[in-house]
Amino acid sequence: MKNIAVIGAGTMGNGIAHTFAQSDFKVRLIDISEDSLKKGVDTITKNLDRMVAKEHITEDQKQQTLSNISTFTDMVEGVKTANLVVEAATENSDLKLKIFKQLDDLCSKDTILATNTSSISITQIAAATSRPKQVIGMHFMNPVPIMKLVEIIRGYNTSDEVTKTIMTLSKTLGKDPVEVNDYPGFVANRILMPMLNESIETLYNGVAGVKEIDTVMKLGMAHPMGPLQLADFIGLDVCLSILNVMYDGFKNPKYAPCPLLVNMVRAGKLGIKSGEGFYDYSENRKAEKVAEQFL
C-alpha cells in the first residue's frame, strides 16, 4: 500500500498529505480548486521549512517529501491508482456521502476508503458505497504532522482485515492508533467538545473573560492551549457542526451548542481562519504563525 489519495487540500488534508509523503508514500492531493491546492502545498512547504530549521529533518528529506506529492483537480485521475483514499473534505454529511458514492464508482474494488471525519457516522458514510467492509474512519489530530493520535473508527460493517491494515499503516506513519467504535463524536470529540462548549457557556454567562478562562485551564489543568483559543484554532464553525452532530445523535441537551457559539458562527467569526474569533488575529498572526508553537 504505497499509493495514497487525499481529498481536500485544507488544513487537515494538506497535513495528512504531508504526513504520508514524509513517510515515503506517493500521495495524490485532490481538490476542486487549483488555488486551494497551491495553498495546501505552500503550507506543507512552510511546515517542512520549519522542521528543517529546527533540525527535525534534513533539506534532502524535505525535497523528497515534496517530490512524493502530486496535485489534481480531477478526481477520476487522482484516485485511479490509489490503494487507500483518505477523504478530508468539509465536515458536512451530504458532501461526504456524495464523495464516497463517487469514490465507490471510481476506485478499484480493492481500494480502502477512509474518512477523516471527526463526528459523522462511519456506518452512514459506508452505506453510500457498495463496499461497507472497506470503509473506515481515520481521525487525525491537528496539526497532523506533529500529533501522534489517530482515532481508527470501525463502522458497523468494517472488516477485521481492513481495521488491522489501517492500524498497522498508522503505526508506519509514526502515529499511535486507537481503535474506537462508531458513535457520535467517537472518543476525542465526545469528551473535548462538551468541554469547549462549557467554556463558551462560562464566557456567555459572564463568569470570566476569554483570557481568564484560558489561563485557568492552562495553569490549573496543564493544558497547552486554553479551550477558547483551541476552539479558534479548530474553527468555531467546525465546533458547531460537531456539536450539532452529537446533539442530533444522542438527543441529549448537554450537547446543545451554546447560543454564543451559534451567533459567532452566524456573524462569520470563525476563529483563526476568518481572522477573528474569541481572539483577534491580525495579518501577522495568521494560522501558520499560531502553528509555529507546535511545528
Question: Where is the binding site, in residues?
Answer: 8-13, 31, 91, 96, 118, 142, 273
Determine whether 151 is an active site residue.
yes
Cell of 151: 482515532
Tell me phi and psi for residue 23, to 5 degrees. Answer: -95, 15
Q: Is 189 a catalytic residue?
A: yes
Q: Which are the contacts of 168, defined by CB distance < 8 A and separation ≥ 6?
A: none
Phi then psi dihedrals of residue 281, to 5 deg: -115, 100
Q: H or E element: which one contains 166?
A: helix 160-172
Q: Which entry of 189, 197, 199, 241 is annotated as an active-site residue?
A: 189
On whether the CB atoms of residues 201 and 258 are closer than 8 A, the answer is: yes
> What residue numbers does the annotated binding site for NAD(+) cover?
8-13, 31, 91, 96, 118, 142, 273
> What is the Cα–Cα distance from 214 to 131, expressed in whole angstroms?
45
Cell 460493517 found at: 157
Grid cell 523528497 in the structure block, residue: 64
The dihedral formed by the CA atoms of 149, 154, 155 and 156, expressed in degrees to the nearest 10? -150
Is 139 designated active site? yes
Q: Which of 14, 36, 118, 121 is catalytic?
A: 118
- Set 151, 197, 199, 241: catalytic member: 151
Question: Which residue in the list 139, 197, 199, 276 is annotated as catalytic?
Answer: 139
Cβ atoms of 210 and 203 within 8 Å: the answer is yes
Residue 238's Cα: distance from chain center in Å?
10
Catalytic residue list: 118, 139, 151, 189
